[in-house]
């Protein structure tokens, strides 16, 4: 018999614990403590409360939970003394069918891991889609995590335990996250297309107007037609536009980008196209019309990888396409205009300028995006509501001193350009850390033509400063520049700063942000508000209409712009449900 929330909410405390038996391996204390949080509003609410109990438990209790788990393909599996749940998971992942070599490799990893950390390696082997991870991936993950820091590894084990519990609860409740599975499967199928040089290595790279990029556009168009969009087209920039008409004239605009960085992840951008597609598919199946139309745009370009121009797709919708971009050339010398013509696009400013939308026809813009950071993952929260997209300012900088002999120049007579920049880097770190939601990074650092025995005469570096408000960004900028001046004057050095980018912060529209908050709360989840450290298409649309974003937790500690970027089908399901909730709330 399948478990129901009504049953759980009404059960005695002892029955409650018994009903959840086996969810967390040999650890009934978790259910015991979570019982007080009843009634549970949703399965997501229950899962979050169970995770909260573990997060708030004492460190030795957390360690006890980790140690209550069997080793992967370990002695307990061989002697068939695993719990029924673990047997099911390890056999679904094919661990019971290991080759001799795989088995030996896993035993060695088990021994090394235990020797380093003092607890067994925990991996949710049913995986992000719940179907079981391939053995090769399990072994690769094991080897990668063996190199991790103990603090991180301990937290990662607990997160995997929560994922194990999530899949076990789905089984107990007979729940299949079908909408999340659909989004997950679309993302997987879209990731088949990758640029040459990367595809062969199993890496995902889709840059503007390559063959893989055009294949992605064609695939999205095809799926949108199958979902039941009324109008689907690929526009003059190769954005894929799907419109699902409503009974009223106004439309809600949504979407995100389908291009990727080099060797990127499968969800960055794409999630924001696939989630609303799933919503339209459901509306179409139910033959339902909303009082407003839904316009979903798969933006062709956001990442600025092939040409020195970014946000091409969303920029064009607000009339920000720069004519000079058509003459930008890629690494092979192909101009954007040539690439467009080769892709069968008109490549005229007239056609591109015609993409500009009239804001009066839209209710606003919303965008769903993977968080691309560790915050939600650390808080055991699937969804986060964005308060503002950080504004930024970027510089390429140079400090000039005097290159001289490292042996003969006394310490008090040096003009060391690199030492000055080192001082500044530490200042940027301290200054940014002293204010919430402000970040500063020196990501590029170079001593041109440096030698081991020469005092650095020049040092080139970059500055990337970001904040949730323009005022906070400008204050950080002013302080960093003042400090650079002080350092250089004290050391007798010359400096230059060249601004390469400046983008205003894009605070979420309060009414739209509040709608996201209401749907997250409606799913039984705590509302977590957070800034977006990364730039997104929404910051472009911000210039023309009210906007607000919803973040989805990324697994693997939220890593992004990396092939390890990952989401679960259950989280994708919640994301679709949140989007549906938003549509219903208008």
- Report d(CA 337, CA 169) in Å as an integer: 53
Lookup: tokens for 428? 């940027």
Which residue's CB is nearer to Zn ion, number 310 or number 343? Answer: 310
Which residue's CB is nearer to Zn ion, number 269 or number 401? Answer: 269
Closest residue by Cα to residue 532 from 391, 382, 410, 408? 391
Which residue's CB is nearer to Zn ion, number 85 or number 268? Answer: 268
By CB under 5 A, name the binding residues for Zn ion. 268-269
Residue 383 in 3-state DSSP? Answer: strand
Which residue's CB is nearer to Zn ion, number 180 or number 269? Answer: 269
Q: How far is CA 542 from the centre of its chain?
A: 21
**Shortest separation between residue 499's beta carbon and Zn ion, angstroms:** 24
The values of phi and psi at residue 547, to 5°, are: -140, 155
**Shortest separation between residue 473's beta carbon and Zn ion, angstroms:** 21
**Shortest separation between residue 262's beta carbon and Zn ion, angstroms:** 14
- Tokens 């400008």 belong to 474
Q: Is 544 left (phi over 0), alpha (psi -120 to 50) or beta?
A: alpha
Residue 169 in 3-state DSSP? Answer: helix
Strands 438-441 and 293-299 come out as: unpaired
DSSP at 35 = G
199: which residues sit within 8 A by CB, 6+ positions away? 193, 205, 212
Which residue's CB is nearer to Zn ion, number 160 or number 205? Answer: 205
- DSSP H or E run through 458: strand 458-467
**Shortest separation between residue 339's beta carbon and Zn ion, angstroms:** 21
**Shortest separation between residue 177's beta carbon and Zn ion, angstroms:** 23
**Shortest separation between residue 257's beta carbon and Zn ion, angstroms:** 6
> How many C-beta atoms surround the C-beta of residue 23 within 10 A?
24
**Shortest separation between residue 269's beta carbon and Zn ion, angstroms:** 4
**Shortest separation between residue 379's beta carbon and Zn ion, angstroms:** 21
Which residue's CB is nearer to Zn ion, number 276 or number 401? Answer: 276
With CB atoms as reference, the residue minimizing the distance to Zn ion is: 269
**Shortest separation between residue 530's beta carbon and Zn ion, angstroms:** 16
Lookup: tokens for 210? 């390559």
Which residue's CB is nearer to Zn ion, number 268 or number 570? Answer: 268
User: Which residues are registered as beta bridge partners of 85?
Assistant: none
Which residue's CB is nearer to Zn ion, number 195 or number 268? Answer: 268
Burial of 130 (0-12, 13-18, 19+ CB in 10 A): buried
CA dihedral (151, 153, 156, 157) positive or negative: negative
Which residue's CB is nearer to Zn ion, number 414 or number 561? Answer: 561
**Shortest separation between residue 264's beta carbon and Zn ion, angstroms:** 9
Which residue's CB is nearer to Zn ion, number 241 or number 538? Answer: 538
Closest residue by Cα to residue 227 from 127, 324, 298? 298
- Report d(CA 152, CA 557) in Å as an integer: 9
Which residue's CB is nearer to Zn ion, number 487 or number 567? Answer: 567
- DSSP H or E run through 231: strand 231-234
Q: Give one DSSP letter per residue of 390-439, joined into a string.
A: PEEEEEEEEEE----BTTTS-GGG---HHHHHHHHHHHHHHHHHTSTTEE
**Shortest separation between residue 268's beta carbon and Zn ion, angstroms:** 4
């Amino acid at each position: 018999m399948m478990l129901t929330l009504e049953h759980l909410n009404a059960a005695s405390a002892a029955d409650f614990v018994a009903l959840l038996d086996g969810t967390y391996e040999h650890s009934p204390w978790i259910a015991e403590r979570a019982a007080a949080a009843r009634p549970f509003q949703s399965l997501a609410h229950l899962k979050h409360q169970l995770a909260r109990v573990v997060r708030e438990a004492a460190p030795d209790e957390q360690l006890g939970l980790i140690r209550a788990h069997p080793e992967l393909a370990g002695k307990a599996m061989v002697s068939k003394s695993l719990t029924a749940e673990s047997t099911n998971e390890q056999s679904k992942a094919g661990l019971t069918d290991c080759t001799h070599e795989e088995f030996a490799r896993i035993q060695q990893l088990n021994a090394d891991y235990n020797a380093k950390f003092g607890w067994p390696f925990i991996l949710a082997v049913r995986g992000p889609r719940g179907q079981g991870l391939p053995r090769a991936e399990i072994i690769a993950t094991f080897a990668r995590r063996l190199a991790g820091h103990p603090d991180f590894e301990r937290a990662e084990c607990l997160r995997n335990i929560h994922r194990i519990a999530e899949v076990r609860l789905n089984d107990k409740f007979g729940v299949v996250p079908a909408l999340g599975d659909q989004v997950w499967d679309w993302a997987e199928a879209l990731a088949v297309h990758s640029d040459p040089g990367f595809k062969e290595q199993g890496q995902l790279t889709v840059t503007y107007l390559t063959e893989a990029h055009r294949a992605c556009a064609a695939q999205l168009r095809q799926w949108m037609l199958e979902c039941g969009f009324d109008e689907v087209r690929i526009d003059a920039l190769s954005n894929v536009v799907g419109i699902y008409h409503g009974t009223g004239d106004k439309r809600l605009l949504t979407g995100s980008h389908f291009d990727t960085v080099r060797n990127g992840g499968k969800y960055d951008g794409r999630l924001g196209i696939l989630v609303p597609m799933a919503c339209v598919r459901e509306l179409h199946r139910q033959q339902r019309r909303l009082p407003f139309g839904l316009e979903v745009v798969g933006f062709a370009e956001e990442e600025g990888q092939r040409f020195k121009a970014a946000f091409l797709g969303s920029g064009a919708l607000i009339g920000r396409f720069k004519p000079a971009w058509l003459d930008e050339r890629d690494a092979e010398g192909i101009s954007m205009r040539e690439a467009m013509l080769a892709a069968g696009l008109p490549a005229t400013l007239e056609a591109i300028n015609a993409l500009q939308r009239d804001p009066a026809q839209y209710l606003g813009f919303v965008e769903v995006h993977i968080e691309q950071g560790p915050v939600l993952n650390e808080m055991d929260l699937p969804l986060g509501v964005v308060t503002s997209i950080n504004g930024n300012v970027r510089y390429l900088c140079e400090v000039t001193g005097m290159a001289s002999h490292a042996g003969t120049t006394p310490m008090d007579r040096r003009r060391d350009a690199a030492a000055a920049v080192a001082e500044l880097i530490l200042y940027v770190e301290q200054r940014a850390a002293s204010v919430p939601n402000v970040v500063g990074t020196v990501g590029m650092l170079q001593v041109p033509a440096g030698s081991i025995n020469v005092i650095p005469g020049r040092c080139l570096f970059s500055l990337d400063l970001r904040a949730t408000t323009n005022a906070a960004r400008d204050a950080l900028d002013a302080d960093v520049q003042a400090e650079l001046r002080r350092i250089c004057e004290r050391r007798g050095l010359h400096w230059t700063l060249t601004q390469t980018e400046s983008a205003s912060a894009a605070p979420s529209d309060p009414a739209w942000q509040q709608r996201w908050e209401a749907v997250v709360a409606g799913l039984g989840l705590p509302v977590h508000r957070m800034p977006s450290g990364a730039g997104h298409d929404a910051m472009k649309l911000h210039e023309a209409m009210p906007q607000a974003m919803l973040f989805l937790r990324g697994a693997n500690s939220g890593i992004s712009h990396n092939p390890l970027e990952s989401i679960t089908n259950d989280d994708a399901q919640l994301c679709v449900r949140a989007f549906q909730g938003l549509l219903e709330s208008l």
